[in-house]
């Protein structure tokens, strides 16, 4: 070959093509991992079990609340804007929401096309500008919350029915009472006094019976006539179902989702477990509670009759993500043992509470 004469292209060797292929596969995998992962679609509200959660239930906003109370709404909004890239710390409802999402993942694996899922809605009367920090916090913790309701100072309660809400959780007792009065299952959620590890793979929900799952009919008899008359009444009416309480519908929704796992032969591995934790005595008044649930076509996985004993120590063993009760001393007892407890303001036990002065509600709900 003369100098300067162009070289003829050489044929690739027999192993050249196969040697290059792995490098292309590695590059493809690398760039696929960089691409944003597709999130699942939100179910239609009418098909889902909708849980509405306030911003102060989902996140801790103690400092923000202090600024609002002491310095007013303008300073509060300014502070939120200045700190919008700082995620909030998890609040009392955070483990519950994470457990709901774990159940959704299992349901999507078993029923890819079904919309019978939990749908979480963030409900707050914050100004819309504060929403950026909330969105950043949700993305920081990789929560799947697509629906927001930010009402700019107005009460969000009027929107709950439009969202087909099955349960509303808030740190604001006045808004919870407003929701209960509108016939919406609701509870005021409280942080535990200490952190206790809860299951990452199984949603655990514990309910009191009277004035939570059931009406307050029996509690009224205790208040008016004492325990002996109550026992007589329950024995005489053992086969008459109690009227439903404010959270009966939520237990019903949990049961519907449980059956989707049962139908796949997964009763023992079901990622939802429910508990009845009641001060009733099993022998004298327990049968009516169980027969009432049966008459509704419902059940709880466990039924614990404490005959007046404190609930806190038992809840410490159960480690539920949330416990619902209508009486604050049971809520306080649960808190002391590290349980996230929620107060249901319904029934005769609330009479004295509703006649006492209430503190002005903050705007961060």
Whole-angstrom distance, CA of residue 170 vs CA of residue 176:
7
- CB 346 within 8 Å of CB 214: no
User: CA angle, corner 99, sides to 98 and 100, nearest 5?
Assistant: 90
Tell me whether residue 208 is one of the annotated catalytic residues: yes
Rg (CA), the chain: 26
> Which 8-state DSSP code applies to residue 128?
G
Give the separation between CA 214 and CA 43, rounded to whole angstroms: 30
Token couple for 249: 């519908």
Q: Which of 358, 349, 250, 251 is closest to 303 using CA atoms?
A: 251
Is the distance from CB of 303 to CB of 337 less than 8 angstroms? Answer: no
Measured in degrees and rounded to the nearest 5, phi and psi for residue 352 equal -70, -35
- Say what angle helices 248-262 and 94-110 make with each other, to 10 degrees: 40
Q: Which of 119, 208, 216, 325 is catalytic?
A: 208
Q: What angle is formed at CA 188 by the lines to CA 183 and CA 191, rounded to 5 degrees?
A: 160
CB atoms < 10 A from the CB of 55, how many?
27
| d(C-alpha 23, C-alpha 71), whole Å | 60
Phi, psi angle pair for 328, to nearest 5°? -65, -30
Q: Give how far Cα 157 sits from Cα of 38, 97, 132, 180, 321, Å.
A: 32, 20, 22, 10, 24
Query: To which H or E segment does residue 205 belong?
Result: strand 203-207
Q: How far is CA 283 from the centre of its chain?
A: 33
**8 A C-beta contact, residue 189 and residue 57:** yes
Structure tokens at 66: 């202090």
- Which residues carry out catalysis? 208
């Amino acid at each position: 070959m003369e100098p300067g004469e162009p070289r003829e292209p050489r044929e690739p060797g027999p192993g050249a093509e196969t040697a290059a292929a792995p490098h292309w596969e590695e590059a493809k995998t690398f760039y696929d991992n960089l691409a944003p992962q597709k999130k699942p679609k939100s179910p239609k509200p009418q098909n889902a079990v909708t849980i509405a959660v306030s911003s102060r239930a989902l996140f801790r906003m103690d400092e923000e609340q202090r600024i609002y109370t002491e310095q007013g709404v303008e300073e509060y909004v300014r502070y939120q804007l200045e700190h919008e890239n700082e995620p909030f710390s998890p609040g009392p409802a955070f483990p519950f929401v994470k457990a709901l999402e774990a159940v959704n993942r299992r349901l999507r694996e078993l029923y890819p096309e079904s919309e019978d899922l939990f749908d979480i809605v963030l409900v707050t009367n914050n100004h819309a500008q504060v929403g950026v920090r909330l969105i950043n916090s949700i993305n920081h913790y990789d929560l799947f919350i697509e629906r927001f309701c930010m009402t700019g100072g107005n009460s969000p309660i009027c929107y709950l029915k439009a969202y087909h809400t099955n349960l509303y959780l808030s740190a604001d007792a006045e808004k919870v009472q407003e929701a209960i009065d509108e016939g919406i299952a609701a509870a005021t959620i409280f942080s535990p006094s200490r952190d206790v590890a809860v299951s990452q793979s199984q949603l655990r929900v514990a309910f009191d019976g009277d004035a939570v799952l059931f009406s307050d009919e029996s509690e009224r008899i205790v208040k008016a006539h004492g325990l002996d008359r109550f026992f007589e009444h329950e024995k005489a009416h053992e086969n008459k179902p109690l009227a439903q309480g404010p959270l009966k519908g939520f237990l019903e929704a949990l049961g519907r989702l449980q059956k989707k796992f049962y139908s796949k032969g997964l009763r023992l591995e079901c990622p939802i477990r429910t508990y009845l934790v009641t001060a009733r005595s099993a022998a004298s008044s327990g049968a009516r509670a169980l027969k009432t649930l049966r008459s509704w076509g419902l059940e709880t996985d466990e039924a614990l009759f404490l005959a007046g004993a404190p609930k806190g120590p038992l809840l410490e063993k159960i480690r539920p993500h949330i416990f619902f009760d209508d009486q604050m001393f049971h809520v306080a007892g649960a808190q002391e043992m590290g349980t996230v407890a929620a107060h249901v303001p319904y029934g005769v036990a609330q009479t004295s509470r509703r006649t006492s002065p209430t503190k002005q509600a903050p705007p961060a709900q």
